[in-house]
Amino acid sequence: MSDLDAVDRAILDELRRDARTSMTAIADAVHISRAGAHARIKRLTDAGVITGYTVRTDPVQLGHHASAYVMLAIEQSSWQDVQARLRAIREIEHMALVGGDFDVILLVRASDARDLRRIVLEDIQAIPFIRSTRTTLIFEDFGRD
């Protein structure tokens, strides 16, 4: 859906800031009626622009004291199999197929450095078709507010 106007984009900005914002508050923030806001959100949802609602959490408060981006080089024809196996590793918070020096980037959250080591060396590197990995530690997260 490429025909988003300024009001649609403003609604999306409000929802990104707080997905629990009331319809009335959204309507007031973007200067339209409550019914208009409801209709636009329904249209954005039906069109697949809005795919769901989520909660942002603090990884440290959840007990994840070690986080890293793990880049993978894989055998190109193995993506579906590798993806299925990576999805089974619960500590992987995000996965993206990318172009460049690596094929896949993972965001991994672990309880501590020892747990992170286990995930990378025992769980991820044990998957067939992964040619190499590179791990970059995250010292501090900065989310979008």
DSSP H/E element including 131: strand 130-138
What is the CATH number for 90? Answer: 3.30.70.920
First to last CA, the chain: 25
Q: The pTM is what?
A: 0.77
The range of the structural domain enclosing residue 24 comes to 6-46
The answer, yes or no, to whether residue 145 has pLDDT greater than 70, is no
Cα angle: 46, vertex 144, 19; to 5 degrees:
40
Q: How many domains does the chain have?
A: 2
pLDDT in tens, 49-107: 999 988 888 888 889 999 999 999 999 899 999 999 999 999 999 999 999 999 999 99
